[in-house]
Structure 1
Amino acid sequence: MASRGGAAVRLAVLLPVLVGVLVPQSFAGGGGRRWFGGRGESQRAEAQAAKDAAAAAFYELDTAQRGLRITIETITAVDGSGEALRAVEGFEALGRRIDEVSRAYISAVDAHDLDRDELDAGTAVRARGELDRAREELERVKGELDRFEEGLAPLLGRAETQLARLAPAVERARQALRGAGDALDSVRGKGLRADDLAARLAALGPELTRLNEGAGRHGVAETLQRADRVLRDAEAVRTEAERLPERAAEIDRRLVSLRTRAQAVTTRAEAVEPVLSELRRRYSVACWQDLQHVSEQAAGAVRQAEERLAEASAARAEQRWPDATALLSTVRALLDTTGEAVSAAGERLRRLDAVAKDPKAETDRARFAVRDAQRLAMEGRNQPDPRHARPLDEAVARIDRAVDGLEGRHPDYWHFLMELEAVRASAAGVVAAIREERGAGAH
Structure 2
Amino acid sequence: MTATPPQSYSSSSVPRAHRQALRDTLTLVGLPLLAALALPASFAGGGTRRWFGGRAESQRAEAQAAKDAAAAAFYELDTAQRDLRISIETITAVDDSPAARRAVADFQAISGRIDEASSHYIEAVDAHDLDRDDLEASVAAHARTELTRAKDDLGNVKKELDRFGDSLGPLLGKAETQLARLAPAVERARQGLLAASNALDAVRESGLKADALAARLAALGPELTKLNQGAGQHGVPHTLERAERVAREAESIRVEAERLPERAAEIDHRLVSLRTRAEALTTRTGQVEPVLSELRRRFTAACWQDLQHVPDQAAENVRQAERKLREARVARDEQRWPDATSLLSTVRALLNTTDESVSAAGDRLHRLNAVQKDPQQEIDRTRFAIRDAQRLAMTGRTTPDPRHARPLDDSVARLDRAVAGLEGRHPDYWHFLTETEAVRQTVARVVAQIREERGGAH
TM-score by length of 1: 0.91
Query: Which residue of structure 2 aligns with residue 426 of structure 1?
Result: 442
- Decide which of 231, 251, 260 is 1:244's aligned counterpart: 260
- Decide which of 301, 305, 316 is 2:332's aligned counterpart: 316
Query: Which residue of structure 2 aligns with residue 277 of structure 1?
Result: 293
Query: Which residue of structure 1 aligns with residue 120 of structure 2?
Result: 104
Query: Which residue of structure 2 aligns with residue 268 of structure 1?
Result: 284
Query: Which residue of structure 1 aligns with residue 158 of structure 2?
Result: 142
Unaligned runs of 5+ in 1: 1-31
- Decide which of 355, 358, 383 is 2:399's aligned counterpart: 383
Q: CA deviation at 1:35?
A: 4.6
- Does structure 1 retain, via aligned residues, the 8 Å contact 2:100–2:171? yes
Q: CA deviation at 1:41?
A: 1.9
Paired letter, 1:422: A
The CA RMSD over aligned residues, in Å, is 1.3
Q: CA deviation at 1:113?
A: 2.1
Q: Distance in 1 between matches of 2:180 and 2:197?
A: 27
Q: CA deviation at 1:61?
A: 0.5
TM-score by length of 2: 0.88
Q: CA-to-partner distance for each residue in 1:159-198, whole Å, 9 max, x for gaps?
A: 2111111111111111110000000000000001100000
Q: CA deviation at 1:118?
A: 3.7
Q: Distance in 1 between matches of 2:284 and 2:262?
A: 32
Q: CA deviation at 1:252?
A: 0.4
Q: CA deviation at 1:37?
A: 3.3
Q: Distance in 1 between matches of 2:448 and 2:106?
A: 66
**Moved >4 Å (runs of 4+):** 32-35
Q: CA deviation at 1:87?
A: 1.9
Q: CA deviation at 1:95?
A: 1.3
Deviation larger for 140-149 or 201-210: 140-149
Q: Distance in 1 between matches of 2:101 and 2:371?
A: 82
Query: Which residue of structure 1 aligns with residue 52 of structure 2?
Result: 36
Q: Distance in 2 between matches of 1:35 and 1:393?
A: 129
Paired letter, 2:150: A
Q: Say whether 1:412 aligns with 2:424.
A: no
Q: Say whether 1:213 aligns with 2:229.
A: yes
Q: CA deviation at 1:83?
A: 2.5
Query: Which residue of structure 1 aligns with residue 136 of structure 2?
Result: 120
Q: Say whether 1:397 aligns with 2:450.
A: no
- Does structure 1 retain, via aligned residues, the 8 Å contact 2:94–2:235? yes
Q: Percent identity?
A: 74
SS in 2 for 1:162: helix
- Decide which of 164, 168, 178 is 2:184's aligned counterpart: 168
Query: Which residue of structure 2 aligns with residue 307 of structure 1?
Result: 323
- Decide which of 197, 201, 205 is 2:213's aligned counterpart: 197
Paired letter, 1:371: R
- Does structure 1 retain, via aligned residues, the 8 Å contact 2:56–2:135? no
Q: Distance in 1 between matches of 2:296 and 2:134?
A: 137
Paired letter, 1:119: L
SS in 2 for 1:384: coil
Paired letter, 1:79: D
Q: CA deviation at 1:75?
A: 1.7
Q: CA deviation at 1:93?
A: 2.0
Q: CA deviation at 1:219?
A: 1.3
Q: Distance in 2 between matches of 1:356 and 1:110?
A: 123
Q: CA deviation at 1:52?
A: 1.6
- Does structure 1 retain, via aligned residues, the 8 Å contact 2:329–2:340? yes
Q: Say whether 1:326 aligns with 2:336.
A: no
Q: CA deviation at 1:36?
A: 2.5
Paired letter, 1:317: D
Deviation larger for 233-242 or 219-228: 219-228
Q: Distance in 1 between matches of 2:51 and 2:439?
A: 125
Q: Distance in 2 between matches of 1:89 and 1:441?
A: 63
Q: CA deviation at 1:115?
A: 2.6
Query: Which residue of structure 2 aligns with residue 11 of structure 1?
Result: none
Q: CA deviation at 1:385?
A: 0.8
Q: Distance in 2 between matches of 1:43 and 1:120?
A: 9
Paired letter, 1:354: A
Q: Distance in 2 between matches of 1:349 and 1:66?
A: 94
Unaligned runs of 5+ in 2: 1-47
Q: CA deviation at 1:151?
A: 1.9
- Does structure 1 retain, via aligned residues, the 8 Å contact 2:213–2:257? yes
Q: Distance in 2 between matches of 1:425 and 1:436?
A: 17
Q: CA deviation at 1:34?
A: 4.7
- Decide which of 191, 199, 217 is 1:183's aligned counterpart: 199
Q: Distance in 2 between matches of 1:118 and 1:289?
A: 132
Paired letter, 1:376: L
Paired letter, 2:376: K
Q: Distance in 2 between matches of 1:69 and 1:385?
A: 79
Deviation larger for 79-88 or 347-356: 79-88
Q: Say whether 1:256 aligns with 2:278.
A: no
Paired letter, 1:256: V
Q: CA deviation at 1:407?
A: 1.5
Paired letter, 1:353: N
SS in 2 for 1:281: helix
SS in 1 for 2:346: helix
Q: Distance in 2 between matches of 1:44 and 1:259?
A: 110
What is the number of residues matched between the two proteins? 412
Q: Distance in 2 between matches of 1:283 and 1:82?
A: 82
Deviation larger for 316-325 or 220-229: 220-229
Q: Distance in 2 between matches of 1:197 and 1:71?
A: 44
Query: Which residue of structure 2 aligns with residue 370 of structure 1?
Result: 386
Deviation larger for 85-94 or 396-405: 85-94
Query: Which residue of structure 1 aligns with residue 31 of structure 2?
Result: none
